[in-house]
């Protein structure tokens, strides 16, 4: 698992899953702004599934390193971590914005 090629493949998968999650979260926000909360919830679930897949890849890599397996340093993996962090932040912000939208709608 520790080879540079394997790390790069893992990083690319993380970027893909995290990017999908990020997109899903903002699609959900668009649906919430149109008051389509059922569709919003479905899209949020898609985002969560993608985010969970990215997070699992990260956790697997961290576990291997903690268990003593050598891992190659990779700028691409740093980039993948950035994508994952952005997706996590997007989720938190989008959920807050959806909640605010629902509260304003009740006024």
Does 15 have pLDDT greater than 70?
A: yes
Whether residue 57 contacts residue 13, with contact meaning beta carbons closer than 8 Å, is answered with yes
- Residue in the structure block whose two tokens are 């709608």: 105
Domain ranges for the chain, please list them. Answer: 4-105
Does 2 have pLDDT greater than 60?
A: no
Model pLDDT for residues 52-92, shown as the tens digit of each residue: 999 999 999 999 889 998 887 789 999 999 999 999 999 99
Residue environment code for 13-36, b if the CB has 16+ CB neighbours within 10 A, otherwise e: ebbbbbbbbbbbbebbbebbeeee
pTM > 0.95: yes or no? no
Between 11 and 74, where is the model more confident?
11
79 is a catalytic site residue: yes
CATH architecture, domain defined by 4-105: Up-down Bundle (1.20)
- The whole-number pLDDT of residue 71 equals 80
Q: Which residue is catalytic, options 35, 55, 79, 83?
A: 79
CA angle 62, 64, 69 (to 5 degrees): 125
Model pLDDT for residues 30-47, shown as the tens digit of each residue: 999 999 999 999 999 999
């Amino acid at each position: 698992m520790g080879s540079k090629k394997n790390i790069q493949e893992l990083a690319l998968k993380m970027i893909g899953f995290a990017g999908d999650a990020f997109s899903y979260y903002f699609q959900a926000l668009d649906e919430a702004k149109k008051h389509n909360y059922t569709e919003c919830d479905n899209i949020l679930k898609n985002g969560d599934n993608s985010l969970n897949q990215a997070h699992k890849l990260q956790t697997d890599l961290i576990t291997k390193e903690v268990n003593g397996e050598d891992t190659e340093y990779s700028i691409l993996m740093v980039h993948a971590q950035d994508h994952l962090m952005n997706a996590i932040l997007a989720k938190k912000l989008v959920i807050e914005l959806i909640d605010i939208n629902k509260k304003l709608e009740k006024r």
